[in-house]
């Protein structure tokens, strides 16, 4: 489920960047793509958090706080770097969102593949 939702999110964000780069820079178009993409992201974040905390019962609160800290620090860095390219249009913003979504998709391929392999080895 996570891999499919990450693929949907990444696809929507890359399409948004493509449409915006073609000169279609309208609020309704951007809102539609963002709504669709973040709908997929809504299936990823809670599911991934539950899976990440699954084996940390006694320290789940601390682990959750660490995940939140990592999310805030990562977003601050990405926003700071993306802010260097501000030009008065929405293209830099949607390009950064699309790049981040592609990174998330690639990371999900690596992480979920290793998790499945570990589960197969543990089952034997």
Where are the chain's structural domains? 2-123
The whole-angstrom separation of Cα 86 and Cα 92 is 6
- Cβ within 8 Å of residue 115, ≥6 positions away: 51
The proportion of the chain whose per-residue pLDDT surpasses 70, expressed as a percent, equals 91
Mean predicted confidence (pLDDT) in 91-114:
91
Pair of tokens at residue 7? 């693929």
Q: To the nearest whole number, what is the mean pLDDT of the chain?
A: 89
Most confident of 10-14, 43-47, 108-112: 10-14
Q: Which residue has the higher pLDDT, 76 or 124?
A: 76
* CA within 13 Å, CB half, 29: 15
Which of these, 3, 34, 19, 7, lies nearest to 101 by C-alpha position?
A: 7
- Residue 28 predicted with pLDDT over 70: yes
């Amino acid at each position: 489920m996570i891999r499919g939702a990450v693929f949907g999110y990444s696809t929507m964000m890359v399409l948004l960047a493509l449409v915006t780069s073609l000169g279609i820079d309208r609020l309704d178009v951007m809102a539609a793509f963002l709504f669709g993409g973040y709908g997929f992201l809504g299936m990823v974040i809670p599911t991934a958090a539950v899976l990440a905390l699954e084996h940390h019962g006694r320290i789940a609160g601390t682990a959750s706080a660490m995940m939140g800290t990592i999310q805030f620090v990562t977003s601050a860095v990405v926003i700071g770097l993306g802010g260097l390219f501000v030009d008065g249009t929405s293209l830099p913003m949607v390009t950064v969102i699309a790049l981040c979504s592609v990174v998330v998709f690639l990371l999900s391929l690596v992480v979920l593949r290793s998790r499945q392999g570990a589960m197969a080895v543990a089952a034997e």
